[in-house]
Chains A and B, each alone.
Chain A
């Protein structure tokens, strides 16, 4: 693939850096079954507003992402994780 910036204006072509490769955090620790009870670990995979990060953002593999989304939903049911961001009171 040729660099796009090399359009003949005399400047050297832009260097393209590949992003750091993402990896599945559960495959690294060799966790096969995700438990909904350790909510502190699950909190790394939800945003500030409480949304579940997609697999392409967090880097988790498809096998674990399926389990992860289910575990987060179960944790929400048991009030271990938030559904949305906490209500801010106007003082």
Chain B
């Protein structure tokens, strides 16, 4: 079973560009070996962290979204743990809550449709009425 995963990690700021490439390639290679598909590779670059980690004030942020087999994630985690130049890492499954979110989007779309219908029908009625009367009504409700 393949599913969408996100892997994020922070590399120490002292690292060269070549070393950063090496670390990223080692992870992407393992994903590609297991017939995984890399959807997105986000390199934020050097960024100030909210608090120092191992006395480093800055960190090199990299985020990878990929569709892989679940067992590969464990090997990637093990590999990241062994790397001394990686300060922190995080791995997530992204399609955990897709069902509920899809339900919500459908629900909101329905509500929007209804609202548009009511707005369209009410606006036609309002055009015939005087606007001053409407304003007075709204004021009364606010008070």
Partner-B contacts on A (CB < 8 A): 30, 32-33, 37, 63, 67, 74, 76-83, 86
Q: Output the least CB separation between B135 and chain A (Å).
A: 21
Residue in B10, B92, B97, B102 whose Cβ sees the most chain A Cβ within 10 Å: B97
Secondary structure at the B interface, as helix, strand, loop or mixed, is: strand
A82 to B53, CA, bound (A): 12
Contact of B88 among A37, A79, A81 (CB under 8 A): A79
Main secondary structure of the interface of A (DSSP, over half): loop
Q: Are B90 and A74 within 8 A (Cβ)? A: yes
Question: How distant is A53 from chain B, measured CB to nearest CB, in Å?
Answer: 18
B13 within 8 A of A: no
B108 pairs with A30, CB closer than 8 A:
yes
Q: How far is the CA of A77 from the CA of B105 in the complex (A)?
A: 29
User: Closest approach, in angstroms, between the C-beta of B110 and any C-beta of chain A?
Assistant: 13
Contact among B90, B100, B101, B104 with A77 in the assembled complex (CB-CB below 8 Å): B90
Within 8 A of A (CB), among B22-66: 49-51, 53, 59, 61, 63
